[in-house]
């Protein structure tokens, strides 16, 4: 393990910011801490970096107890959202600063800087100063300054948060490729769900100082365990349901939409004795068609209340028996998709796509 956190507690006055958090992060992993503002993710990152101290619990970095080691003594470096560059120094001197503080030989410093500037593709900017750089260029300089010190672990506190959407998406790919080339552990804090899914090997979704669910990106998205994870990590329809009778690979449940069959082949069945449950389904899993065009299972009639065109896809808000249903459909053909506000449509909720939540 690169990082082991055990029963970590952090309080600010009467407020518990980290509430007995435990997790392990593997060597060479791209790991993300995801959650809303105030959930404790940045505080946890600062404790790992030695910029804050816990009130209780233990942190081990590369097998060593972190207690008693300052930020400078730990094999970690941190990249901040605000870049924290020296405005009066050139890109070269900003990147060289930490190496000069360590009093490394001049030839070694030059060798490392040249290699890192090429790696993050800013060699041509070496003689510029931060005020002459764009946001994306500043972010690359901040990354280079951290990486040039050859840390075993890189901590990233919302590193792309200050960038515009197009540049942020471009740098997501670059950041992932950089991590794969370096082979070091990246621990990334973000509140951007899409960014976490794109970048991460595993994600810890945090809420109120606790880890709500931890797992691979696909696992968390396809099989969320709680309402919070289902609705925070992307968009999700959630229906209240009552278990009625068993089926071959699951059960039948009564909902506001009518009776639905739930297939448990790919998920953990609900706890024995639970009659009242919540079912979730992602909008892109819901099949939309005109009445009479399909006879798929779990079909219900609905009316289109609103549609939102997003270019590659259209989001539909439907109403059926007082229940709102969100549907996301790819715009596979040019022109109208055949569904307009006020239209009656049929929706199918595939039994294998219905997720049984734990709360």
* Domain assignment of residue 158, given as a range: 3-228
Same domain, 131 and 255: no
Identify the domain boundary among 178, 198, 228. 228
Q: Residue 293 is encoded by which pair of tokens?
A: 């065009």
Identify the domain boundary among 193, 213, 228. 228
* Domain count across the chain: 2
Same domain, 205 and 311: no
Same domain, 77 and 187: yes
pLDDT of residue 143: 84
Same domain, 115 and 202: yes
pLDDT of residue 335: 62
- 3-state secondary structure (DSSP) of residue 72: helix
Same domain, 292 and 263: yes
Same domain, 196 and 270: no
Q: Which of 117, 96, 263 is nearest to 178 (CA)?
A: 117
- CB distance 31 to 25 below 8 Å: yes
Distance CA 43, CA 57 (A): 14
Q: Is 11 exposed, middle or buried (0-12, 13-18, 19+ CB in 10 A)?
A: middle
pLDDT along the chain (359 residues), means of 10: 95 95 96 94 94 94 87 86 86 91 89 88 91 87 86 88 77 85 91 91 96 95 94 92 91 94 85 85 92 80 92 92 92 74 92 93
Q: Residue 303 is encoded by which pair of tokens?
A: 């009316």
Same domain, 320 and 220: no
Same domain, 143 and 165: yes
pLDDT of residue 259: 94
- Strands annotated E in 26-115: 30-34, 56-61, 64-65, 76-79
Q: Residue 93 is encoded by which pair of tokens?
A: 């001197």
pTM above 0.75, yes or no: yes
Element (H, E) at 43: helix 41-48
Identify the domain boundary among 178, 209, 228. 228
Q: Residue 201 is encoded by which pair of tokens?
A: 């090997």
pLDDT of residue 188: 94
Same domain, 70 and 215: yes
pLDDT of residue 203: 96
């Amino acid at each position: 393990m690169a990082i082991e956190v055990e029963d970590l507690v952090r309080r600010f006055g009467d407020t518990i910011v980290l509430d007995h958090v435990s997790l392990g992060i593997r060597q060479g992993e791209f790991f993300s801490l995801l959650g809303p503002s105030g959930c404790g993710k940045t505080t946890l990152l600062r404790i790992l970096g030695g910029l804050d101290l816990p009130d209780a619990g233990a942190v081990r970095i590369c097998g060593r107890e972190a207690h008693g080691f300052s930020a400078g003594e730990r094999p970690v470096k941190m990249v901040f959202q605000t870049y924290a560059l020296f405005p009066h120094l050139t890109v070269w001197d900003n990147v060289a600063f930490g190496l000069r503080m360590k009093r490394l030989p001049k030839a070694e410093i030059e060798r490392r800087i040249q290699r890192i500037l090429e790696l993050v593709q800013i060699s041509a900017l070496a003689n510029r100063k931060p005020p002459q750089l764009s946001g994306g260029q500043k972010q690359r300089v901040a990354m280079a300054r951290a990486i040039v010190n050859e840390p075993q672990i890189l901590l990233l506190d919302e590193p792309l948060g200050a960038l515009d959407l197009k540049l942020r998406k471009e740098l997501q790919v670059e950041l992932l490729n950089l991590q794969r080339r370096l082979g070091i552990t990246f621990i990334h804090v973000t509140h951007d769900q899409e960014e976490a899914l794109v970048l991460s090997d595993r994600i810890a979704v945090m809420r109120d100082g606790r880890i709500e669910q931890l797992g691979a990106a696909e696992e968390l998205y396809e099989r969320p365990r709680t309402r919070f994870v289902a609705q925070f990590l992307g968009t999700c329809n959630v229906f209240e349901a009552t278990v009625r009778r068993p089926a071959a690979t699951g059960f039948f449940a009564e909902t506001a939409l009518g009776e639905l069959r739930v297939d448990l082949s790919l998920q953990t069945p609900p706890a024995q004795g639970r009659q009242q449950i919540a079912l979730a389904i992602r909008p892109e899993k819901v099949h939309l068609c005109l009445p009479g065009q399909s006879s798929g299972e779990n079909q219900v009639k609905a009316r289109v209340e609103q549609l939102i065109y997003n270019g590659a896809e259209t989001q539909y808000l439907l109403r059926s028996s007082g229940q709102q249903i969100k549907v996301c459909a790819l715009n596979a053909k040019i022109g109208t998709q055949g569904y307009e506000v006020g239209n009656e449509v049929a929706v199918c909720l595939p039994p294998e796509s219905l997720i049984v939540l734990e709360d």
